[in-house]
Amino acid sequence: MTPAGFEHAVESGRAPALAFLARHGEYRQAVSVFPSLTPVCLSSIATGAGPDVHHIPSLVWWHRRERRIVEYGSSFSALRAAGFSQGIADTVFNMNQRHLGADAVTVYEALEDAGLVAAAVNITCYRGRHRHLPTLPWLTRAAYGPKRFFYYSLFESDRTGAPLAVRNRAAGSLDAYAAAVGRWLVTRDGFDFFAYYLSDFDYASHARGPSGAADVALERTDAAIAALLDAAGGPDAFLDRYAVIVHSDHGQTEVERAARLETPFAGLEDAVVVTASNRAGQVYLLPEARVDAADLARRLDGEAAVEVSLRREDGDAVARRDGEELRFRPGHGGWETSGDAALLDHPDALRRAWNALGNPNAGDLLVSAATGWELTDLGGSHHAGGGSHGSLVAGDSLVPLLTIGVDAAPARITEVAPAVLSHFGVELPAYQREAAGAA
Ligand SMILES: [Zn+2]
């Protein structure tokens, strides 16, 4: 949800639960990460770090050591193209058990190590210390999540009577599942911390565009929030009991056209792997490549679908846009730059670009799509005529953020986890302390 979408929801009278929370909290806009794609954003929220620490680079990426594509579900056709069972294993298990950085600390791990009880529903970054077996008897692979762990009906630490999550996504069955679990948890006060993830508004926004999403999904999203307030005995009783941070993980912008990011790299099929999804792409150089990342960047000059590319060169980051380049690196408490800084005029752009490039799983060239464009995924799918996200542009990157009873003012989605840990008096991981010092 975009800040404009949130503000409209609160003012329209159609979202009474959100409006109640907004009246009792402090509202601001915050910045997402790059790429502003769900697995990257949710990992950033749960670990309080950028991709340089949590190592999740995109919805789809090239695993250099295993020499294969990892696809977390850009679309059904993309999952099929990547190999359905591999895609499911990567999405459900490997993202948390293998791909999420070993040095990253999830908010659930930090809280439960301090003796608190964490709960999570449907959020894709869930790594914790508790072993959970799937609800399907023929699946035997365990996942490790927080003590109270609910994941699309596939993992359920407790019997809540929630309806099956995956009945009808377009009709809001994922949020209905989350709401039933949330109602059960709040009724029992069964947690110290609860990550309550509602994704059906994003689904509607992909189909209808960010301004049309409210028409079909706003009341449902609000009802899922109202379910928690009701379960506590009403809105005031809810706020007597809990401090709350309400935010989205990324925005969305309208998409009119789609392009294949593979096309500009025609003839280099033996040298590069291109992975793209929504409004971001990554290009990986294979060990046998006889071109470098600067050559790849030049191939994108004049591509209407591409606004800016990013790469590392001699310890610097290099952004290229319309044939012009900006070099930058951290230094002297800020950034040392050479070139036209206006090339990266997006929110918090230097920091987000630097952190994306610092991810060992990132491509050698990162691509941020131009406004109105999407890059087709492995299965050729796109959301032209609807909405999408993933790029550096403000519409994809800015999120609404509301704090109620929390003594913190997060300006980035990476600052949510440290706000939670500080609220409970739990020591922050070293990388969160360093980021707070640098901010
Ligand atoms: Zn999305």
Residue 167: its pLDDT value, please?
A: 78
d(CA 233, CA 226): 11
Mean of the per-residue pLDDT values of the chain: 96
Give the model confidence (pLDDT) of 402-434 as tens digits: 999 999 999 999 999 999 999 999 999 999 999
- Spatial strand order of the sheet with 372-375 comes to 372-375, 253-259, 387-388
User: Residues 386-409: pLDDT tens digits?
Assistant: 999 999 999 999 999 999 999 999
Percent of the chain at pLDDT > 70 equals 100
CA 249 to centroid of ligand 1, rounded, Å: 9
CA of 51 to the centre of ligand 1 (A): 18
pLDDT of residue 170: 80
Distance 76 CA to ligand 1 centre (A): 14
Q: 175-190, pLDDT tens digit by residue?
A: 999 999 999 999 999 9
Query: Which residues of the chain does CATH 3.40.720 include?
Result: 3-28+100-252+397-438
Q: Looking at residue 134, what is its pLDDT?
A: 95
Question: Taking the CB of residue 86, how many other CB atoms lie within 10 A of it?
Answer: 15
Average pLDDT for residues 323-348, to the nearest whole number? Answer: 95
Q: What is the pLDDT confidence band of residue 121, given thresholds at 50, 70 and 90? A: very high
Ligand 1: centre distance to CA 37 (Å): 7
Cα 201 to ligand 1 centroid, rounded to whole Å: 9
**Model confidence over 241-294: pLDDT tens digits?**
999 999 999 999 999 999 999 999 999 999 999 999 999 999 999 999 999 999
- Could you tell me the distance, in angstroms and rounded to a whole number, from the CA of residue 309 to the centre of ligand 1? 21
Q: Output the CA 287–ligand 1 centroid distance in Å.
A: 32
Q: Tell me the CA–centroid distance for residue 86 and ligand 1, in Å.
A: 21
Is the pLDDT reported for residue 155 higher than 90? yes
Please check whether residue 169 is in contact with residue 213, taking contact to mean a CB–CB distance below 8 angstroms.
no
Instruction: Tell me the pLDDT band of 49, cut-offs 50, 70 and 90.
Output: very high
Q: Does domain 3-28+100-252+397-438 have CATH number 3.40.720?
A: yes
What pLDDT sits at residue 44?
Answer: 98
Rounded CA-CA distance 323/321 in Å is 5
Residue 314 Cα to ligand 1 middle (Å): 34
Q: What is the pLDDT of residue 399?
A: 98
pLDDT of 211 > 70? The answer is yes
pLDDT tens for residues 54-98?
Answer: 999 999 999 999 999 999 999 999 999 999 999 999 999 999 999
Residue whose entry in the numeric block shows the structure tokens 């909405």: 387
CA 347 / ligand 1 centre spacing (Å): 19
pLDDT at position 438 over 80? no
What pLDDT does 439 receive? 60
Domain with CATH 3.30.1360 in the chain: 257-388
Does pLDDT of 354 surpass 70?
yes
| Least reliable range by pLDDT among 38-52, 144-158, 161-175, 279-293 | 161-175
* Class of 257-388 in CATH: alpha beta
Residues 421, 403: Cα–Cα separation, whole Å: 14
* Cα(77) to centroid(ligand 1), Å: 16
Question: Phi-psi bin for 396: left (phi > 0), alpha (psi -120 to 50), beta?
Answer: alpha
The closest alpha carbon to 207, from 170, 152, 251, belongs to 170
Distance 5 CA to ligand 1 centre (A): 15
